[in-house]
A and B are shown apart, each in its own frame.
Chain A
Amino acid sequence: MKALGSRFSFCAGFVVGTFTLYVFLRQVCFERTLSAQQASSSDQLHDHQLEEERTIWKKDRSALFNLKHPHHTDEDSSLADELYKKVRILCWVMTGPNNLEKKARHVKSTWSRHCNVVVFMSSVDDPDFPTVGLGTKEGRDQLYWKTIRAFHYAYEHHSNEADWFLKADDDTYVIVDNLRWVLSNHTPEEPIYFGRRFKPYTKQGYMSGGAGYVLSKEALRRFVEGFKSKLCTHTTSVEDLAMGQCMEKVGVLAGDSRDTVHRETFHPFVPEQHLTAKFPKSFWYWSYCYYPISEGPNCCSDVSVSFHYVDASHMYLLEYYTYHLRAFGYRYRYQPPTPLGYNIEQSSSRAAAEEKKELTSQEKGQGEGDDPSRTDKRQGVDPPPAAGKDPPAVPSGK
């Protein structure tokens, strides 16, 4: 009896032990394969991204040169393409080594693809990303030093490769095609700069740093000269204000970036806040804005240029809303005047040819009506709207 009992308990113990070991080992193996899988698919993802980037950019001297103006298949971007060639913009993005993966990477994947040249400015050189090391430290008090050095860098290395020089943060989202429209009625030889105009502390106002601002080539030249001649110095670490003070000293005009119906295009906050938030009257924003503030949908132009405090996922969302989502059946209600000197006839004849092509392919399926090209094409063909009875209002500095 006793022998049977002890044999039984031995067997039971053996079974329990084997079972426990089996479950434990299976779990370990499973986790190992799962992490291996994840690692390999994240590698795949990484490779896919690199592949994509190779077709979009040419990396040269720590700058990214756009190989072609991005557009989607079947899209008619003829006017945007023309502007892309004539209004060349160098976008430099203020970032830092800690933000490359968190923020700058998403700027690289979204809106910066629409710039002619992109340079990421950091305190440290990174040949892979790539970023330019400005030789400063990190931190809010270094902002103006970084800005000074970044603009000097852009002037020394890229002044022949662009006409306009945009400064943006790594949490700024810029609709570069709209920026080209704002700039199209000006020349890079004008000493002028554009952004969200604030009024305090300066006579002509200054441009909000976060919302981004853009200097003409002449303005950049004067900025650099100003530092050479000591007319401009590092007065304060409040980057945007200091910039505005220097611009004033060297005779660069603070431009009016609003659209033809006086809606702002550069925005210091995200769209949700401009559209729906009720800023308390004590909030600094009320006393800073140079032009009268509108709340609600009129806050923001239909051809808005920038938003600030945009986080990573928001960048992709804005890209989707700007370049994809729309309501069917509308021609855009706000038809900003085609900039002077741009070829409407060219795009209209091409539009006519494409329309013929579309009509034949439409016979294939009724659902084929998802026809972005047809609605968008008409934009190029339309004359300036009746609303602009006065000659197309040129956004100019006052």
Chain B
Amino acid sequence: MTGPKSLESRTKHIRETWAKRCNKVPCMSSVETDFPTVKLNVSEGRENLYWKTIRAFQYIHQHHLDEADWFLKADDDTFAVVENLRYTLCRYDPLKPLYLGRRFTPFISQGYMSGGAGYVLSKEALRRFVEGFDTGKCTHFSTIEDMALGKCMETMKVEPADSRDSKRRQTFHPYPPDYDLIRQFPRSRPWYLIYDHYPPTGVDCQSSVRSDALKRA
């Protein structure tokens, strides 16, 4: 998920680093450029995030459904270790309606996946997402992309799967590594730890398998 302003400052670097390890990398923007990006018929801005997501998934469903088993949505400030993502996914069946990411509890009864940390839809989940919008079961009822997508997933009976490693440590992270790695003086629990669906394991909070959001200037 990107936009014309951050092609040079961010998306280019993604393309030169971790995106090489994906099977396919469409960059979704509001306009078409030589970069190359896919033009979605939306404007820029945080309030259009969900529109962009909907259009992006519809585009992928139309053009690339058979080229992959899993569909990862990432921001242009997310860093993903793709091999580790494959390792996490290999125990799940892409023909089942599943999606994975950093699971949060509020607002949706089955929970939803954090947008910034990135999330992955199985092929069946993507089909159902697009079907939901085709049949009107899912609508653009909110601009909060991750929560709204979570609601649609729930409506279409797509289950959230557990992305933690065998020692129950998180693999998707909504913040850069140093946020959780460094022992800090007690502070009021940051929002994302309060939102977490699974209980923290304590000191060993981070798995060596990861995909996370990196805020870079």
- In the bound complex, residues from chain A placing their C-beta under 8 Å from that of B210 are 325
Q: How far is the CA of A50 from the CA of B208 in the complex (A)?
A: 27
Instruction: Check if A360 is an interface residue, CB within 8 A of chain B.
Output: no
A-B interface, 6 closest residue pairs, ranked by CB to CB distance from nearest: A328-B87, A327-B83, A367-B166, A41-B186, A370-B166, A324-B208
Q: How far is the CA of A325 from the CA of B181 in the complex (A)?
A: 12
Instruction: Check if A316 is an interface residue, CB within 8 A of chain B.
Output: yes
Q: How far is the CA of A372 from the CA of B87 in the complex (A)?
A: 13
Known pairs A317-B181, A327-B82 / 9 extra A-B pairs, C-beta < 8 Å: A317-B177, A326-B208, A327-B83, A327-B84, A328-B86, A328-B209, A365-B166, A367-B165, A370-B209
Instruction: Check if B8 is an interface residue, CB within 8 A of chain A.
Output: no
- In the bound complex, residues from chain A placing their C-beta under 8 Å from that of B206 are 320, 324
Instruction: Check if B66 is an interface residue, CB within 8 A of chain A.
Output: no
Instruction: Check if A368 is an interface residue, CB within 8 A of chain B.
Output: yes
Contact partner, B183, options A45, A314, A324, A330, Cβ 8 Å: A45
Instruction: Check if B178 is an interface residue, CB within 8 A of chain A.
Output: yes
Whether B84 contacts A38 by the Cβ 8 Å rule is no
Q: How far is the CB of B56 from chain A (nearest CB, A)?
A: 26
Instruction: Check if A273 is an interface residue, CB within 8 A of chain B.
Output: no
- In the bound complex, residues from chain B placing their C-beta under 8 Å from that of A327 are 81-84
Q: A45-B183, A324-B208 are in contact. Are A366 and B167 (CB under 8 A)?
A: no
Instruction: Check if B91 is an interface residue, CB within 8 A of chain A.
Output: yes
Nearest B residue to A40 by beta-carbon distance? B186
Q: A45-B183, A316-B182, A367-B166 are in contact. Are A328 and B177 (CB under 8 A)?
A: no
Chain B, 60-91, contact with A by CB distance < 8 Å: what is the 0/1 string? 00000000000000000000011110110001
Chain B, 6-19, contact with A by CB distance < 8 Å: what is the 0/1 string? 00000000000000
The number of residue pairs between A and B whose CB atoms lie closer than 8 Å in the complex comes to 58
Instruction: Check if B185 is an interface residue, CB within 8 A of chain A.
Output: yes
Q: How far is the CB of A364 from chain B (nearest CB, A)?
A: 10
Q: How far is the CA of A314 from the CA of B177 in the complex (A)?
A: 10
Whether B185 contacts A38 by the Cβ 8 Å rule is yes
Q: How far is the CA of A367 from the CA of B178 in the complex (A)?
A: 26
Whether A370 contacts B83 by the Cβ 8 Å rule is no
Whether A367 contacts B91 by the Cβ 8 Å rule is yes
Whether A369 contacts B178 by the Cβ 8 Å rule is no
Give chain B's interface residues, CB within 8 Å of chain A: 81-84, 86-87, 91, 165-167, 177-178, 181-183, 185-186, 206-210
Q: How far is the CA of A36 from the CA of B209 in the complex (A)?
A: 38
Q: A365-B166, A370-B209 are in contact. Are A329 and B181 (CB under 8 A)?
A: no
Q: A316-B181, A317-B177, A370-B166 are in contact. Are A328 and B91 (CB under 8 A)?
A: no
Q: How far is the CB of B170 from chain A (nearest CB, A)?
A: 13
Give chain A's interface residues, CB within 8 Å of chain B: 37-38, 41-42, 45, 312-314, 316-317, 320, 324-330, 365-370, 372
A-B contact pairs, 22 of them (CB 8 A): A38-B185, A38-B186, A42-B185, A45-B185, A45-B186, A317-B178, A317-B181, A324-B206, A325-B81, A325-B208, A327-B81, A327-B83, A327-B84, A328-B83, A328-B86, A328-B87, A329-B83, A367-B165, A367-B166, A368-B166, A369-B87, A370-B166
Q: How far is the CA of A187 from the CA of B210 in the complex (A)?
A: 41
- In the bound complex, residues from chain B placing their C-beta under 8 Å from that of A312 are 182
Q: How far is the CB of A368 from chain B (nearest CB, A)?
A: 5
Q: How far is the CB of A308 from chain B (nearest CB, A)?
A: 19
Whether B185 contacts A330 by the Cβ 8 Å rule is no
Q: How far is the CB of B168 from chain A (nearest CB, A)?
A: 10
Q: How far is the CA of A42 from the CA of B185 in the complex (A)?
A: 6
Q: How far is the CA of A320 from the CA of B178 in the complex (A)?
A: 9
Whether B209 contacts A313 by the Cβ 8 Å rule is no
Contact partner, A329, options B86, B91, B208, Cβ 8 Å: B86
- In the bound complex, residues from chain A placing their C-beta under 8 Å from that of B181 are 316-317, 320
Q: A313-B182, A316-B182, A317-B178 are in contact. Are A330 and B87 (CB under 8 A)?
A: no
- In the bound complex, residues from chain A placing their C-beta under 8 Å from that of B186 are 37-38, 41-42, 45
Whether A330 contacts B83 by the Cβ 8 Å rule is yes
Whether B83 contacts A316 by the Cβ 8 Å rule is no
- In the bound complex, residues from chain B placing their C-beta under 8 Å from that of A372 are 208
- In the bound complex, residues from chain B placing their C-beta under 8 Å from that of A320 are 177, 181, 206
Q: How far is the CA of A372 from the CA of B207 in the complex (A)?
A: 12
Q: How far is the CA of A324 from the CA of B166 in the complex (A)?
A: 15
- In the bound complex, residues from chain A placing their C-beta under 8 Å from that of B207 are 370
Q: How far is the CB of A319 from chain B (nearest CB, A)?
A: 8
Contact partner, B178, options A45, A316, A326, Cβ 8 Å: A316
- In the bound complex, residues from chain B placing their C-beta under 8 Å from that of A326 are 208
Q: How far is the CA of A313 from the CA of B184 in the complex (A)?
A: 10
Contact partner, A313, options B83, B86, B165, B178, Cβ 8 Å: B178
Q: How far is the CA of A115 from the CA of B102 in the complex (A)?
A: 37
Q: How far is the CB of A131 from chain B (nearest CB, A)?
A: 22
- In the bound complex, residues from chain B placing their C-beta under 8 Å from that of A314 are 178
Whether B182 contacts A370 by the Cβ 8 Å rule is no
Nearest A residue to B21 by beta-carbon distance? A327
Q: How far is the CA of A368 from the CA of B206 in the complex (A)?
A: 16
Q: How far is the CA of A389 from the CA of B210 in the complex (A)?
A: 36
